[in-house]
Amino acid sequence: MSCWGVAAAFLALPWMVEEISVQRLPRPYLVVPCLVLTSAGALALGFAAWITPRLGGLGAATAAPIRARDTFMDAIAGISPALWGHFITLLWIFGAAMIMAGSVATALTWRRRAFAALVVLSGVMAVPVCLATAGFTMMSPYFSLAEEARAINREMAAAPDAIVVCEALPHTASSLFYYLDARVHWVNAPFDQDYAQRVLGLGRDDYWDEAGLVKAWRSPQRIYLILEESRLDYWATLLPPGARVVNRSGTRVVVCNQ
């Protein structure tokens, strides 16, 4: 990552020497990147205009359980087209910004104001960065357990001895280690995934089976269970009735026995 600054300086050099008359490059060399940027914006707007009327026919906005989305390609395929459709607004903004910046930069370059064009091109790069941040925020509930952890933390302020159980593989719910102010127990997760567990046998108490969870659920101890919403019906056949829904976010839900 430390090389990006050097790469940026190298790419900016032709635009800066353009201000020195004896080192001027032919204008097409500098106009082409501006036109490419404009074309990218036009393609983005064209696709957004084409897909927007069809969003209603893409079906429900759903996502597969996180266990089925633990690789890059599975994450792409596991999110429905209708859910990806939420990004269309961002695509409109991106396309408009690229067309405007590319057009302005092209005009400035043609007038031999290459450094001003460089400033425009550099400045518009803030737009996709900000849009990417907005996109991550929109999709985070389908990957992160931050919202679930915050909901549990608020309630645990009044019940600090509560137990949190998560039905997931630890590597698919690792965000709990960052956001949850409590120890996490795992149910229906293999115990021998790491060296400390497999060889040294450490952490056995953190891994429960279904019988252990049902027993704890029936006790006076407050239990929070984080699970996929698609698993609610299954657990409803094992746990006593009356579970309280604490939070829903993405494909997961938090229920409590009190």
pLDDT tens digits for range 5-46: 655 665 666 666 655 554 566 777 778 888 888 999 999 999
Strand ranges inside 43-193, DSSP E: 163-166, 184-187
Q: What is the pLDDT of residue 207?
A: 85
Q: What 3-state class would DSSP assign to 256?
A: strand
Quick: pLDDT tens for 175-228: 888 998 888 999 988 777 666 666 666 667 788 888 888 888 998 889 999 998
pLDDT of 47-88, one tens digit each? Answer: 999 988 887 777 777 778 877 777 778 778 778 888 888 888
Paired residues of 223 in beta bridges:
163
pLDDT of res. 226: 92
DSSP 68: G
Q: How far apart are CA 66 and CA 226, in angstroms?
A: 12
Residue 22, pLDDT score: 45
Whether 232 has a pLDDT exceeding 70, the answer reads yes
Answer whether 242's CB lies under 8 Å from 140's CB. Answer: no
**Rounded average pLDDT over 234-243:** 88
Whole-model pTM: value is 0.77
* Chain segment 47-56, per-residue pLDDT in tens: 999 988 887 7
In tens, the pLDDT along 92-125 reads: 999 999 999 989 988 888 887 878 888 888 888 8
Has residue 157 got a pLDDT over 60? yes
CA atoms within 13 A on the CB side of 36: 7
Residue 99 pLDDT: 92
The CB density around residue 169, as the number of other CB atoms within 10 Å, is 16
Closest CA to 165 of 215, 129, 202: 215
Sheet holding 163-166, edge to edge: 207-208, 184-187, 163-166, 223-228, 252-256, 244-249
* Residue with the larger pLDDT of the pair 106 and 1: 106
Cβ–Cβ contacts within 10 Å for residue 115, how many? 15
On the CB side of 103, CA atoms within 13 Å amount to 8
Report the run of H or E that residue 245 belongs to, with start and end. Answer: strand 244-249
Domain extents in the chain: 4-142, 146-256
- Give the chain's mean pLDDT: 82
Instruction: Return the structure tokens found at 240.
Output: 């006593």
- 114 burial via Cβ count (<10 Å: 0-12, 13-18, 19+): buried
Tell me, what amino acid is at 240?
P
Per-residue pLDDT at 16 = 64
Range of weakest confidence among 59-63, 82-86, 162-166, 168-172: 59-63
Q: What is the greatest pairwise CA distance in the chain? A: 84
Q: What is the DSSP string of 16-42?
A: HHTTSGGGPPPHHHHHHHHHHHHHHHH
